[in-house]
Amino acid sequence: MSDVVSSFSISTEQVGAYEFRVKFDKDHYPDLTMDEPAPLGKDTGPSPVRILAAAVGNCLAASLVFCAAKRGVQIKSMRASVRAEIVRNENKRLRVGRMEVEIDPGLEAESIEKMKACLPAFEDFCTVTASVRQGIDIVTRVKGL
């Protein structure tokens, strides 16, 4: 990959069986509770897969909003919905197999032609989706081991 443009750090701390508190790098961001659904966790917050799906949907919608603004299109109600499929790989491990994202910019008829120009490129400007599609190099270290 290329040179690092920026970086940030977050921390997670276990507060229950599979429940974790996420602390972000900025004080004005509230903590986030994440948990696994039953039978592992108690479903007290979204799971990591749900957070990933939300990040993909949000990033794509925001990228389309950016393109619309560049084209002079006013968007009144941008919405995105994401359907994630969990599958088992060849080793019987759960993985995100596929995500389907539907974006509804709620366009007026006169804006449709201008927005068509965004279709070939807006996904490429979405940091999260483009990264997930290519795979992300993740280095893992376990302290004390």
Residue 140 confidence (pLDDT)? 60
Spatial separation of the C-alpha atoms in residues 106 and 78, rounded to whole Å: 6
Residue 113, amino acid: E
Spatial separation of the C-alpha atoms in residues 53 and 34, rounded to whole Å: 14
pLDDT classification of 109: cutoffs 50, 70, 90 = confident
Residue 143 confidence (pLDDT)? 62
Q: What is the pLDDT of residues 29-79, one digit of tens each?
A: 999 999 999 999 999 999 999 999 999 999 999 999 999 999 999 888 899
Q: pTM above 0.85?
A: yes
* Fold observed for domain 47-132: GMP Synthetase; Chain A, domain 3 (3.30.300)
Give domain limits for the chain.
8-46, 47-132
